[in-house]
Amino acid sequence: MTERISEKALGNSELKISTIGLGCMGLSEFYGQPASLEDGCNLIRHALERGVNFFDTADMYGDGHNEKMLAAALKGKREQAVIATKFGIVRQNGEYARTICGTPEYVRKACHDSLKRLETDYIDLYYIHRVDSSTPIEDTIGEMSRLVDEGKIRALGISEASAETIRRAHAVHPISALQSEYSMLTRDPEDEILALTRELGITFVPYSPICRGLLSSSRIDSNDSADFRRNLPRFQGEAYDKNKSIATALSEIAQAKGCSLAQLSLAWVLAQGDNIVPIPGTTKIKNLESNIEAAGINLTGDELAEIDIILSGATVEGARYTEEGMKGVNL
């Protein structure tokens, strides 16, 4: 019998979450064609059976498709899951172009709509997906706090926010999770955010811990129009090849450790702090199993030092998002 994954407390809350979660986004959008409802549900149920209870979605992933898939997968098992969803990125007709909204009226409506799609009475962790520069953060959090009082939300999260915004938000209502991109190839949170989350008792939730698949042996299909990574500067032309060569250098350490590069990437993220719970995304049970196994891989000081040597001698080419994708980031 395979061992179940262990749990951690979610910051400033009563909730317990598995030491890695499951990023559900790719089941609906962005990384190629969406999974069928049957395949998506099978993957999510498999995760739950293996003790992965922390499911990450958002209202905008596939325009509600992802939340509905999660609801279908969790039918009869809602209580076993910790559902994290997000609001605040507003898109029209499936286009990538977005506006960011955090007004109290919008928060309430978005929450109501997510509850409906998720077929549940409460959201365990409700995130501000991106910070709205035209609404004071206190107003957005104030409304979320009222939703907590009403039993519709259990804990509050925020994504890609600056240190100042996190402090201001936390002063209104305790923040449980900060979700930002973090991996061996995206280390921006190390400047001040990681220390701040530790100081405030917030769980740090790295998304794209495998750098959207860049830190694995596979290559993206640049002809697939459903794969938005082909639009990202990091995944284009020479930049992609250069970034892949960093991945190749890291693969050698993985090989010596007897694990895959994706597993090394997750083990590295986990080694950066006790309050870190990554949410790798996958559409495949085989990769899910491999990611669960990665939660049990401990890197030695020597291995971490070897990784540091490679990373400090390498420059990651290309921004992580297009200009449109950077809206509401680091505000």
Enumerate binding residues for ligand ATR (CB under 6 A): 23, 25-26, 31, 207-213, 216, 218, 260, 262, 280-284, 287, 290-291
Rounded-to-integer distance, Cα 100 and Cα 68, Å: 22
In the complex, the smallest distance separating the C-beta of residue 287 from ligand ATR, rounded to whole angstroms, is 4
Give the residue with the Cβ less far from ligand ATR, 25 or 137.
Answer: 25
Show the beta-strand stretches assigned E in 97-249.
98-100, 123-128, 153-159, 175-181, 203-207
In the complex, the smallest distance separating the C-beta of residue 239 from ligand ATR, rounded to whole angstroms, is 17
In the complex, the smallest distance separating the C-beta of residue 269 from ligand ATR, rounded to whole angstroms, is 10
In the complex, the smallest distance separating the C-beta of residue 184 from ligand ATR, rounded to whole angstroms, is 11
Give the residue with the Cβ less far from ligand ATR, 117 or 229.
Answer: 229
CA dihedral 204, 300, 210, 161 (to 10 degrees): 20
Give the residue with the Cβ less far from ligand ATR, 19 or 135.
Answer: 19
Rounded-to-integer distance, Cα 115 and Cα 62, Å: 16
In the complex, the smallest distance separating the C-beta of residue 174 from ligand ATR, rounded to whole angstroms, is 25
Q: Which of 269, 212, 179 is nearest to 26 (CA)?
A: 212
> In the annotation, is 61 catalytic?
yes
Give the residue with the Cβ less far from ligand ATR, 40 or 281.
Answer: 281
Rounded-to-integer distance, Cα 207 and Cα 229, Å: 15
Rounded-to-integer distance, Cα 143 and Cα 140, Å: 5
| Cα-trace Rg, the chain | 19
Give the residue with the Cβ less far from ligand ATR, 50 or 173.
Answer: 50
Contacts with 305 (C-beta within 8 Å, 6 or more apart), sequence order: none
Pick the catalytic residue from 31, 61, 182, 240.
61
Measured at the CA of 88, the angle between CA 86 and CA 91, to 5 degrees, comes to: 110
Residue 159 phi/psi, 5° resolution? -125, 135
> 279: which DSSP letter?
-
Could you tell me if 70 and 118 are in contact, meaning their C-beta atoms sit under 8 angstroms apart? Answer: yes
Catalytic sites, residue numbers: 61
